[in-house]
Amino acid sequence: MEVLIVGAGGMARGIGLRLVRGGHQVRIAHREPDKAADLAAELGDNASGEPLDSAAGAQVVILALPYEGSKEIAEVWADRLAGKIIVDISNPVDYETFDRLVTPPGKSATDEIAEAAPGAKVVKAFNTTFASRLATTGKLDVFIAGDDGDARKQIASLCTDADLRPIDVGGRKHAATLEAMQLLHMKVQGEINGNWSTALTFAP
Amino acid sequence: MEVLIVGAGGMARGIGLRLVRGGHQVRIAHREPDKAADLAAELGDNASGEPLDSAAGAQVVILALPYEGSKEIAEVWADRLAGKIIVDISNPVDYETFDRLVTPPGKSATDEIAEAAPGAKVVKAFNTTFASRLATTGKLDVFIAGDDGDARKQIASLCTDADLRPIDVGGRKHAATLEAMQLLHMKVQGEINGNWSTALTFAP
């Protein structure tokens, strides 16, 4: 499958590494074409870089951006994202206090992105997996939520290919839980000496 | 420390086993004194059983009951629980659908218990640990939330003694996250072949 990743930071790299290893074609889009090209070069022959504005066409678009950036892309690209699967990985965390989310009460970041691009099938995934951990080869749980069951299945299938364990938690309303839990995961990194490399897991 | 556990089911047994092994005195209180005595006998010399109505005095009271039962005890015992630490382990899950919580919007079970017994220091803990797993000797994460920092510390200390890893996530507002996450943990048991013995963990 061809997957477009918007962003060229740590999360784009981690997800890109997993997908390329899983046999998928990865396109990296970034405002700065050099950054996209650099990451694509690191990912290898099955990856290519392109400027943000020319990005189009992929059936699966992973917004590997911070919350505000993801919302902005969903708004600006609302038309071209219609009918496609958007993966929202964002965590709308108050990074000053690590004690609250910055989303409006009762709304997840995924809700906001879905409202900004109403024709798209929006799926929450990868918000609980730290970049450093994705970049390893170890198995990881990826929690998936969204209202389109077929879109959830497609993302789950990508995860399985990428040696990740997909956990389909159901409808989009559960994205808020995944965001709130990741806030706690981030908040206690110091307490558990987690060094931003721990993994939210339903351990056997 | 002396700990009163209200309930004699699987969770009371699992927590009781851990606390007794950790060197603490455990009192089991139950409406049916025989059930309290039976569990106490299983737990050994450092445990005793008593009828529910005579239970009093312990500084830490663990409500090892379903959500509705915990709320009821908090209401009925509101006076005698004043100044004490109450541990709420409940999961207000809709057990027909496993897709929603039955608490009012914006409120956790812990909030409701705290409102029912306003003089008590209410702490959420043990809601993400399945009974079967507590009954083993394996290390487990116990997530702790509550508005009284000293009460959280005392419960964390009990957990450490009991060979559990306490993870203090902060104020009571985070109890809702722990309840929502455990709903998902329960919901996907079939999908992950979890057999109600998996553990919500920030894995290293």
| H helix and E strand count, chain A | 7, 9
Q: What six digits make up the tokens of A120?
A: 């798209």
Q: Say if A184 is an interface residue toward chain B (CB within 8 Å).
A: yes
pLDDT in tens, B154-173: 999 999 999 999 999 999 99
Q: Say if B78 is an interface residue toward chain A (CB within 8 Å).
A: no
Q: Tokens 């737990």 — which residue? A: B43
Cα separations in angstroms, B105 against B31, B52, B74, B109, B128: 32, 32, 20, 11, 21
Mean pLDDT of B23-50: 96
Mean pLDDT of B142-160: 98
- Is residue B55's pLDDT more than 70? no
Q: Do A168 and B176 touch (CB under 8 A)?
A: no
pLDDT in tens, chain A (204 residues): 999 999 999 999 999 999 999 999 999 999 999 999 999 999 999 999 999 887 667 899 999 999 999 999 999 999 999 999 999 999 999 999 999 999 999 999 999 999 999 999 999 999 999 999 999 999 999 999 999 999 999 999 999 999 999 999 999 999 999 999 999 999 999 999 999 999 999 999
Beta strand A199-203 with B199-203 is: antiparallel
> What order of strands is seen across the sheet that includes strand B85-88?
B47-51, B25-30, B2-6, B60-63, B85-88, B121-124, B141-146, B165-170
Q: Say if B192 is an interface residue toward chain A (CB within 8 Å).
A: yes
Confidence (pLDDT) at B54: 72
Residue A118 included in any domain: yes
Residue A137 included in any domain: yes
Nearest to B181 among A168, A177, A187 (CB): A177
Residue A202 included in any domain: no
Confidence (pLDDT) at B57: 74
CB contacts < 8 A (A, B)? 82
Nearest to B191 among A167, A181, A200 (CB): A167
Cα separations in angstroms, A131 against A8, A18, A171, A186, B17: 12, 11, 25, 13, 38
Cα separation of the two ends of chain A: 31
Q: Do A180 and B185 touch (CB under 8 A)?
A: no
Distance, in Å, from the CA atom of A125 to the CA atom of A156, rounded to the nearest integer, reads 9
Residue B7 included in any domain: yes
Closest to A18 in 3D by CA, of A55, A43, A49, A45: A43
Give this complex's ipTM.
0.96
In this structure, are residues B201 and B165 in contact, taking their beta carbons and an 8 Å threshold? Answer: no
Q: What are phi and psi of B53, to 5 degrees?
A: -65, -25
Distance, in Å, from the CA atom of A118 to the CA atom of A160, rounded to the nearest integer, reads 28
In the stretch 3-22 of chain A, residues with CB closer than 8 A to chain B read: none
Q: How many domains does chain A have?
A: 1
Closest to A85 in 3D by CA, of A158, A33, A15: A158
Residue B94 included in any domain: yes
Confidence (pLDDT) at A197: 96
- Residue A47, domain extent: 2-187
In this structure, are residues B175 and B145 in contact, taking their beta carbons and an 8 Å threshold? Answer: yes
In this structure, are residues A51 and A33 in contact, taking their beta carbons and an 8 Å threshold? Answer: yes
Residue A33 included in any domain: yes
Mean pLDDT of B101-106: 95
Q: What six digits make up the tokens of A91?
A: 């965590």
* Residue A102: how many other CB atoms lie within 10 Å: 13
Contacts of B168 in chain A (CB under 8 A): 188, 191
Residue A53 included in any domain: yes
Q: Of the given ranges (A60-64, A117-121, B50-54, B72-76), which has the lowest mean pLDDT?
A: B50-54
Contacts of A99 in chain B (CB under 8 A): 170-171
The domain that holds A69 is classified in CATH as 3.40.50.720
Closest to B121 in 3D by CA, of B143, B147, B154: B147
In this structure, are residues A152 and A146 in contact, taking their beta carbons and an 8 Å threshold? Answer: yes
Residue B163 included in any domain: yes
Question: What's the gap in Å between the CA of B204 and the closest CA on chain A?
Answer: 5
